[in-house]
Structure formats: structure tokens, C-alpha cells
Structure 1
Amino acid sequence: MFDSATDNSIKETEAVIVRIIKDGKPVNRLLGIAELKHAHADGILEAVSDQFMRVKQENFKENLVSFCADGASVNHGETGGVKAKLRQQCPWMIGIWCLPHRLELAVMGMIKANESASEVMRLLDFLYKTYHYSCKSRRELHMMAEQLGFQSRNPSRATGTRWCPHLAKALTILLSDSGKYAVITQHAEHISVTSKNSNVQGRAKFVLKRLETFKFAAFCHFLLDLLTTISKLSLFLQSERTILPSAVAAIQTCLTAVETMDVRVQPGGHLEAFLKMTASLQQSDEVVSLQGVILKKTPEEIDTDLNTLPLTLSRDIKVSARKTAEGLSDRFKALLGGTHWDDITDGAAKAVACFKIFNPDTWPDNIPELSSHGEEQLQYLIEWFRSRLIRNRCDVNAVIHQWRLFKQLVSAEFQDKNYTSLYAVLLTKEPYKTDFKDLLHLIQVMLVIPVTSASCERIFSAQKRIKSDSRSSLGVETLEDLIRISGDGPSLQDFTPQPAVLRWIKCSTRPRRPLYKQWPAELEVETSYSDSTFSDSCCCSDDVTDTMLFRI
């Protein structure tokens, strides 16, 4: 996995992460961070190669199975991209377009195609900017929340690295029971009357007009149901532990849930709760409201049946669900089986589709059908990775026989295990790792295929946190070391500082003065001395023994 970003010193850096098998499970490890000389495909390949050279893996391309990156043309271009250049030397290599990025594009397509969804997005973005960048507006919002007796929470950002979860969080805060919907409505109403600035008045009326409409409130609740489902999938795909079979199963489950939203209100969802609440108020001859905000243009009869809702609301809900489902089906067509594996023209995409046979949930229940299930796909995988399998001493002629025994074993004894646990047992326990040693070569290939480049995004988050404006001169090597400590180092509770402090004192070319009187009083130093004691201006050298203790 690799991705690039620009740091605070306006340097473009490339983060390179490798995915390996450890104790039968796939893990991601930071290989290194390099400063890009050029941002084109050759420059990225040079940076990646340099990182492998650092760890003395000059022939890394012989063991390269797959790479994962976002959908930029510099990465996945068919002629001049990184994928095309790698395939010239590694014909079996599989290029994966980051699945969470694809998921975001499917949701963005739905938002662009639906004016109501775009309107909700603009409102959330407007609320965040209003209360994030204006101290006066935030202060007034908190004061109004206290007066109304509600909990004060700032509107959340609707966009970010994890875009779908950010949008779902922003909607959750707006519609939560903390009263944020009512507080923002009251504040907008107050500003629309008292402000002397016509632009501010216009923005307040823009917010007020939408928040006081039944259709807008109901659609926000539906959108929260939809985005909550999508966000769970997004977070699952961003996990380092997610493997290809579980990713495909999760996408299929999400797609089924989205498709049902086109025909009925999600049971137990936010929209159903909103409709039941407003219907109860209507039956009690009370004014239909949300958190005390009176909703205008309320239908005469409110029901949880999707077809009985106002025509424009029902249409927007169905269009949103349908567009999202179409986007998911289109973006993940090869993985979901929308196209038969034998009809896929791209060899690498066909290989990815063939790996679905290692998902026991897709196996037929009928024993005669199970005995021959997946043999054609397995044979294609053998041919696709033949050179690599032979190089790793795999008996390709024994794989089909082991595959038949493998299906019988899993169907009889391992139905209770999830994908990761199943393959961890087979790769680490006897007699399985011996009985299926040739088949396990392909299983290892499947496990190391990355489905997300989110690990690179986490590296850049740490880079932004560590290399701040006041530390913009940090070198790439120092930055990489600090990121490793931040991500892989021990916790503060488990960290023992004595060796590091002792090295800091002894390895300096200039005197260290740990007993300097003007240091903070909270720093208590206990030392044991060999032959001499320290004075205020002493030079710390071999006089300090390994028993020096620092307590802060």
C-alpha cells in the first residue's frame, strides 16, 4: 500500500506499508516514508523501491502479490500508471483500488444526483463553518442551549478522511436528543430578526426555512439511516484485519440493506422513530414538532408506510436508496458477481473474482455440487500465479486434490469459525499446515491482498500531528522514527524511560546538566554515583551509572 501527501514544510512524502502474514493472520507494517523527487509514476516507483532497498529487499518484486492505492490515474493508469509499470515486471500483480474510496464515490454520486441530499450536505457544511470559525456564533449557541436546558454540542464536520462516517456523525449530532436541532433553529430565528447585516440575515433564513419543514426533517432522518449503514461498512473496510472474503460479504450485506430502503422504511431506524413520534402527536391533536420546533407543511395523516408519505419525500427517499444501490453495484460489480468471472476481460480482476471460492458462505449445500465447486476458478488462480507458486516450491499439481479435501474438512468441522480464525488455524496448526501446504500458498496470497489504503491515511494523520508548524524542519528519517514510536511504541504506562534518558546523557557531544537548578521543580532526579558527585556545571559522562532514575 502506498499514498502521498504534503506536509507542513511543503514536501511531498510517500508512505509505503507492507502487508505480511504473522501467526496466520495478515498484519500491516510501515516500511518507510520517503520524500518524492517527482510525483509521477516513475517517481513513486523510485520512492517505493528505495524503501525496500533500505531493508535489503532488492528483489521485492519477485514476492509482490498486490498493491492498493486510491483511484488516481498516476496509480491505476492503464498505460503510464504505477500499476501498468509494475505489471511489466510482475505480470501476476493485482492492483486494488481502495474499497473505502470506491464506497465514498458511490455515496457522492447519490448526493450529486439528488437535490435533497445535496441540500442537506450544504446545510451541514454551512453549520459547521458558521460555528467553527465564529467565536461569537459559538458563544451565542452555547448560551441559547443553556437557556433552553439542552446539552451544548458544536456541529460536527461533514467531510474528512473518513468521509461517510463524518457525514453520519454530523447528522447524528444535529438530530440527537441533546436538542441541537432546536437550539440551532432558535438561534437562526434570533439572528434573522436581530442581525443588522443582510447577508447574515439571509443565511439565518436559509437555515430556518429548511429546519422548520417536515419534509426536510424526515429526509434527514432517512439519510441518517442510509449513512449509518454505509458508515459501518466504511469503517469495516478501513480495518487492517479485513480480508477479501469478509470485505465482499460485508459489501453484499450493505447492498441488500440499501435495496430494502427503496421499498420500506428501515425497521428500528431513525426515520421510523421520527414518523411514529410525529404520528403520535398528530393522533393526540398536538402540534407536530421535533424537539419543540413546529414543523410546517405536515401531511394530514402520517404513517410509517413509505408509499403513504408525501409524494416528493417518498420520491427523494426512493431515488436516494436506488442511486446508492446502483453506485454500490457498479463500483463493486466484479467482487459481487454482477459479471460472471469467466466474462471478465481483465486478468487481474478475474483473479480477484476467483478468490470468492475461498468464502465458505458461498459454497453449495449439496455434497455432489460441493465436490466440484470452484475447481475452474482455482485452476485459473494456479495459472495466474504459476511462476510465483513454483518459485516458492508449491506443487501445483497437488492443489486441486487438496482443495477437495479442504472443502470437506471446513464443511464438517469449521462452520463455527469466521474467515480470519479459520485461515489462522490452517496456517499455524498441525496437521492442517502440512496436509494443505500447497493450497495454503494461494490462501496466503489471498490474505495479503489489501482491500484498503486507510493505513496510509493514518500515517499522514500522525505526520500532521507530529510535524506541526513549530516542528516543520523535521527530517524525513526523524519523522518516520517518531511515527513508528507513535503507532507501534509502548504505552506511557508500559514505557521505561531510564535507558533512553541514560543514553541521552552519555551520547551527547556537549555537557548535559540534569541537576540544573532552574529546571522545573516537578522533575525529581535520583542518582547513584561511582566516584564523584555532580556540581551545577558538571559534565555528565561515565560518572553516571545505569541506576539513574527519573520520576516526572
Structure 2
Amino acid sequence: MNKRKRDSSDENQKPAKNARSFNAKWLQLFAWLTFDSIRNAMFCTICQKHKKKNNFVYPGASNFRKSSLVDHASSNDHVQALKSDEAAKDNKLKTMVEKVYEKTDDAMTTLFRNAYYIAKENLPIDKYQSLNELSKMNGAPITSTMYQEDTACSEFIKIISSQIEQTVLQDVKDSPAFSIMIDESTDLSTQKHLILYLSYLKDAKLTITYSKLINLTACDSVAITSQLIAYLQANDVDLSKMYGMGSDGAAVMIGKHTGVSQLLKENSPYLIEMHCVAHRLALACVDLSKEIPEIKFVESIIKTVYTYFKRSPSNLSELRTWQTILDDPQLNPLDVHKVRWLSMGHALDNLRRSLVSIVHMVSDQGDSDIVASSMVHHMTSYKFLFLLHFLSDIFSKINILTEYLTDEPSFEPLLSQFILTTSEQDNFKGIDFSRSPRDATLPDKVVHLVSTLTDNIKDRFPDSKIFEAFTIFEPASFPVNISDLPNYGTSQMSTLTSHYTSFDEDSTLQEWSTIKYIIFNNFRHLSPAELLTEVTPMKEQFVNIVNLIEIASVLPVSSVECERGFSRQNLIKTKLRCKTSTDTLDQLMRIGLVGVPVKDFDPKPALRQWQSNRQRQVYQSNKQNAFS
């Protein structure tokens, strides 16, 4: 049995004839030792501190032998007290270090927030240092000088962007299905880029997010495909779950034999290529302007008016005066851009709403200005006024559709009001206009125009059996009467299982025969997106049907997000920042497009990653300063 080691100093000894006395040299040998000359006794400060029960605590040791001190130093009481004392010192030291690191974290957090603000607000990186100075003046915790140079800002932005990117890619990997939207562009420095957006499901809700700006070494389909696949595979994205590809419809993208979509099918066999519907609608309108001379006539006047005011600030200033006098809206004449989907409708609307002010102004200048005289001549003709209001009607409807696809506002129709107002007078809103015998043919011409536009849209939107089949999952498409439900969607389901051969047709049809009654009875009022949220919890029971609804949800109908991404690119890479590399441009775009608002940004995850990359000098320096 282990017995507690006895402290020899605890033993009561009879006083010797030659009594020993305390040796002051022992105080140097034993740091814990004290001597009370009044009580003529020795004490252990460590045992006293930790309230041990031995003679070195109470009443005091009087065996003045060095051996008694050595015995006490090795006694269990003293050893345990010493361990407790060291532990307390370690905890105190640890607490002090933690406080130093916490203060350093606060200082670095300010720097990371400032770097994020620079990227999010699209500010030049050389503003980083002055922003840090402002933070210091405002009393924010910040380092004295370390990590306040531009290179540190770039490093912080890179880490923050990387974390956002990895979060998006992880969400894509967790999604049961995803699609891509891609487009090519050339930046200010003539560098070719491929922009990539991802469409996927997160918590059963559709998410469309910017993913990557890829530097293109070549612009053929093989080069685009290889770089696209390399990026996705490098991030462990399962290409077999890629079900759709949206693009602008260029041959290099959706060519039947060697387009990017065809090459991607080697890794994603069920992929469906989709030509952006907003882009197709725009092309149908462009085709219309080529075929109908009346469109060209109105376009030429729009361009003349735009140029007249664009090139002369004095003309624009005078127009503002007329608009104020006549209580017209303060609108600028706009140009028509073939590559901008809403430009024709917006240009028509602005011209129509500012028409009275423009006509009055150019009429005043007509005698001395040939261009103004020509504008008055054309803009005060019945033909122009008729076509202006008719095309405003048509393009407002086109804009409503386009804006529905791109989430923008819309306008109202107007031609009937114009015809009613001018049926018995040659004056419209105070503008005297001239008529021509050929004006009588305008109604027939506009009928032809509408017919041509309809044909162009049909040509640009060929039937797709797969997309048509997916419409059975839209609750609004369900039959009104339950008696029509047994056969509803059966042929479309066969179309889907024929394309998606990984789905067993019999089991899928069996699931459909049950779940369509659940949808009919409970979810007919829901949108397709809301339906997905409701049926996702039923996935174990209806795995095939829910998977098909998930696939339908991520298929891209538009690549308009890519255009918005390139707009962000052009805001960042300007003439003053033309040397920005593709990697830096990608990082800034990601923070700008995907990053949370500045007030919601949490720097801690990025700060921890930055710390883990290597030992950071700022933490070591602050630790040394605290204990120096």
C-alpha cells in the first residue's frame, strides 16, 4: 500500500543540548521558504497559498536542518501545491495571451471589413490605406501600421472571395440538380472571358448565382468546354447532375455537332441546351426592323432626335426649359441599340412622353437649323405620330414580356387614344400635323407588322417536347375537373422518361398516378416554385417525380444574368483600372455580385482562414510586446 511520504519536519523532536538555529542561506536555496524570527519557525509560502495541512503551514517548522527542508520539498503536500501553483500561473498566462489575441482579432477585423467595403463598393484598392486612417480617427481598433498596405488588401479580398466561391460550390454539390449559364465577352483590355452562372436548389428553392470569370485562351467550343469542365471538376462538382445550359444561342455554344452543349453531353448526358428567351425575343424584333420599312422610318427619327440632343448640351438645356414650361416629364431622348433588349421600347416611350416639348423647341430653331427643320417636318406628320403610338403599344407588350424574364418594371398601351383624339382634327396635344393620302394604308401595314412579328417570334421559339412535357408540373396547367385527371400528363411523362433514361418508366408513372391527385386537391393554387417546396418532404415516397420537378426547376430559360455580370465587369475594369488581372477581376465581381451587404459581413471566417495559412507576425509581435 502506498503511504503518504512523511514530512520529517513534522516529527516532534526533543530539543538537543546544542540547539540548532535557522540558516539565512536557506532562503536563497528554497524560493518558497520564509522565516518568522518572532515565532522562531519556518513556513512554506506555496503550501500556505494552497491551504495545505502540515507544520510548514501551522504552527511552523522548527527543525532547523537542511534535510527537513529537502524532505518538505519532496513531500506530497508540497508537490501538489506546486502543481496547483504552476497551473494557476499557466491559466493566467493563457488568459493574458487570449486577451492579446482578442485585441489583435479586433484590429484585424477592422482591416478585413475595410477590404470588403473596398471590393463591395467598387472602390480602387489604393483607397484602402486612407480608409484605415479614417477608421483609426473614428476610434476603431486597428493595427498601428501592419497589413495596411495595398497588397494586404488584395490578399484579404482574395481570401474573402474564395470563401464565397467555396460556399456557392458546396451548395451546388449539395443540390440534387444544377444548370449553367455561360456567355463570352471581351473586356476593356481586349481580354476574352467566359462568365459562368450556376442555377441550383438550396433548401428546395431556386438560386442563380455568379460563379466564375474564366480567362479564355481560345474561343472555340473545344477550348471553352475544356476550361469549363476543368473548373467544375477541380471543385469536385458532379457533372452528371448538370441538366441544362443557357446561352445567347451563338453557334459556338449550341451548334448541333461541335457546340459547347454537345461536347458537355459527354459528361452530362441529360443536358438540355437553352437559347436565352429574352435574347430570342430581341432577335425577333431585330428581324422585324430589317423587314418592315416603317420600323426603319421611326428608328431613323429616334436616332436623329437622340443625336441632336446628345451632341449639344445647350439643346438639352433648352429642352429642359420647355419640359418645365409644358409640365412634361424631365426625360432624355434615348438611342436604339440592337444588342439591348429593352432599348426600342424605352426610346419610344421617352420620345412619346417628351414629344410636345421637343416639337415646340425644334420648331423655334427650324428657321436657322436644317436638322431641326427636318425633325419638325417628320415629327409633325400623321404617319410618324400614328406609328409612334402604335409601336409604343407593341414594344410596351414586348418589354412587359422581356421585363418579366429579367425582373424589371413595365408600361401601358396607347394607340387607341391617339386615333380617337385625331379622328376629327389635325392636332394632337397642341401639335398641328400634316396628313398624306398614303396614311390610309397605315392600318393594313400595322396588321402586316404584327403578323410578321408573330411569325418571327414563332421562328425564334421552336417547339420543345421536353420543355412542353415539364409543364405538367405547373399547378395552373392541371385540369379543372377531377374526371379529366386520370389521363392528365401520361404522354408527357413518357416523353420525360424517354429522355431521362435513368428513371424507370413504370415506377415513375405509378408515382405520377398518385401524386397528381395530391397536387390537384391541395396545391393547385401554388406556383411551380412553391410546389417544389411542398413536395420535397415527400421525396422518399415519390423520388422519381420530385427529382423531375427538381430538374425542371433548375433549367435556365434566360442567360440575362450573364449580361448583368458583364455589366459589373465593365464597372470594375475601366480605363483607369485596365491592368486589373482576370483573377482580381473575378474576385471583385464575386464580392460585388454575391457578397452580402457590408453591414451583414462577418469577417471572422475569412480571418481564421488567413491565420491558418501561416504564422502571422502581428499576433507574435503583440504577444511579445505584452510580456516584454
Q: Do Structure 1 and Structure 2 share a fold, with TM-score over 0.5?
A: yes
2:296 is the alignment partner of 1:187: no
The residue aligned with 1:454 is 560
Distance 2:301 2:555 in 1: 39
The residue aligned with 1:350 is 465
2:444 is the alignment partner of 1:315: yes
The residue aligned with 1:297 is 435
Distance 2:335 2:316 in 1: 14
SS of equivalent residue, structure 2 residue 214? strand
**What letter corresponds to residue 210 of structure 1 in structure 2?**
H
Q: Deviations over 1:276-324 (max 9, x none)?
A: 3334xx4xxxx5433321122189xxxxxxxxx9532202221121112
| Greater mean deviation of Cα atoms: 451-460 or 205-214 | 205-214
Shift of 1:360: 3.5
Distance 1:137 1:399, change over 3 A: same
**Which of the numbers 394, 399, 403 marks the counterpart of 2:512?**
403
| Greater mean deviation of Cα atoms: 216-225 or 449-458 | 216-225
**Which of the numbers 217, 224, 229 marks the counterpart of 2:392?**
224
Q: Is the 8 Å Cα contact of residues 161 and 457 (structure 1) preserved in structure 2?
A: no
Distance 2:236 2:605 in 1: 29
Distance 1:20 1:156 in 2: 37
2:165 is the alignment partner of 1:56: no
The residue aligned with 1:517 is none
The residue aligned with 2:542 is 436
Distance 1:492 1:437 in 2: 40
**Which of the numbers 487, 490, 493 marks the counterpart of 1:372?**
487
| Greater mean deviation of Cα atoms: 130-139 or 225-234 | 130-139
Distance 1:510 1:402, change over 3 A: closer
Q: Is the 8 Å Cα contact of residues 192 and 205 (structure 1) preserved in structure 2?
A: yes
**Which of the numbers 274, 289, 292 marks the counterpart of 2:418?**
274
2:237 is the alignment partner of 1:71: no
Distance 2:458 2:299 in 1: 23
SS of equivalent residue, structure 1 residue 8? coil
The residue aligned with 1:141 is 319
The residue aligned with 2:309 is 131
Q: Deviations over 1:121-170 (max 9, x none)?
A: 2222332233223334323433444555544321123326542x222121
Shift of 1:329: 2.3
Q: How does 1:466-485 map to 2 (within 5 A)?
A: 466-485=572-591
SS of equivalent residue, structure 1 residue 386? coil
Distance 2:498 2:270 in 1: 9
Distance 1:510 1:411 in 2: 62
The residue aligned with 2:349 is 172
The residue aligned with 2:226 is 46
SS of equivalent residue, structure 1 residue 2? strand
Identity %: 25
**Which of the numbers 185, 195, 201 marks the counterpart of 1:21?**
201
Shift of 1:450: 0.4
Distance 1:543 1:295 in 2: 85
Q: Is the 8 Å Cα contact of residues 5 and 14 (structure 1) preserved in structure 2?
A: yes
Distance 1:129 1:397, change over 3 A: same
Distance 2:248 2:495 in 1: 27
The residue aligned with 2:337 is 159
Distance 1:147 1:76, change over 3 A: same
Distance 1:231 1:509, change over 3 A: farther
Distance 1:508 1:89, change over 3 A: closer
Q: Is the 8 Å Cα contact of residues 288 and 298 (structure 1) preserved in structure 2?
A: no
**What letter corresponds to residue 332 of structure 1 in structure 2?**
F
Q: Deviations over 1:429-449 (max 9, x none)?
A: 4xx333322211111111111
**What letter corresponds to residue 423 of structure 1 in structure 2?**
L
The residue aligned with 1:537 is none
TM-score if structure 2 supplies the norm length? 0.64
Q: Is the 8 Å Cα contact of residues 345 and 395 (structure 2) preserved in structure 1?
A: yes
The unaligned stretches of length 5 or more in structure 2 are 1-180
Distance 1:424 1:133, change over 3 A: farther
The residue aligned with 2:76 is none
Distance 1:434 1:91, change over 3 A: closer
The residue aligned with 2:381 is 213
Q: Is the 8 Å Cα contact of residues 181 and 291 (structure 1) preserved in structure 2?
A: no
Distance 2:585 2:623 in 1: 33
Q: Deviations over 1:335-363 (max 9, x none)?
A: xxxxxxxxxxxxxx432332232233334
Distance 1:146 1:447, change over 3 A: closer
Q: Deviations over 1:100-131 (max 9, x none)?
A: 11111122222222211221122223322332
2:183 is the alignment partner of 1:3: yes
Q: Deviations over 1:357-405 (max 9, x none)?
A: 2233334445444212222221231132123x5xxxxx65421111111
Q: Is the 8 Å Cα contact of residues 114 and 320 (structure 1) preserved in structure 2?
A: yes
The residue aligned with 2:521 is 412
Distance 1:488 1:92, change over 3 A: closer
Q: Deviations over 1:24-61 (max 9, x none)?
A: 2221122211110001101111221232134233xx33
**What letter corresponds to residue 43 of structure 1 in structure 2?**
A
2:264 is the alignment partner of 1:86: yes
Q: Deviations over 1:405-453 (max 9, x none)?
A: 12211222212212221222212x4xx3333222111111111110011
2:426 is the alignment partner of 1:237: no
| Greater mean deviation of Cα atoms: 404-413 or 182-191 | 182-191
Distance 2:278 2:236 in 1: 32
Q: Between Structure 1 and Structure 2, whose CA radius of gyration is higher?
A: 2
The residue aligned with 2:123 is none
The residue aligned with 2:14 is none
SS of equivalent residue, structure 2 residue 579? coil
Distance 2:475 2:330 in 1: 49
Shift of 1:212: 0.2
Distance 1:386 1:501, change over 3 A: closer
Q: Is the 8 Å Cα contact of residues 3 and 15 (structure 1) preserved in structure 2?
A: yes
Q: Is the 8 Å Cα contact of residues 359 and 431 (structure 2) preserved in structure 1?
A: yes
TM-score if structure 1 supplies the norm length? 0.72
Shift of 1:496: 6.8
Distance 1:148 1:544 in 2: 75
Q: CA RMSD for the aligned pairs? A: 3.5
**What letter corresponds to residue 488 of structure 1 in structure 2?**
V
Distance 1:124 1:498, change over 3 A: farther
The residue aligned with 1:346 is none
The residue aligned with 2:164 is none
The residue aligned with 1:115 is 293
SS of equivalent residue, structure 2 residue 540? helix
2:522 is the alignment partner of 1:384: no
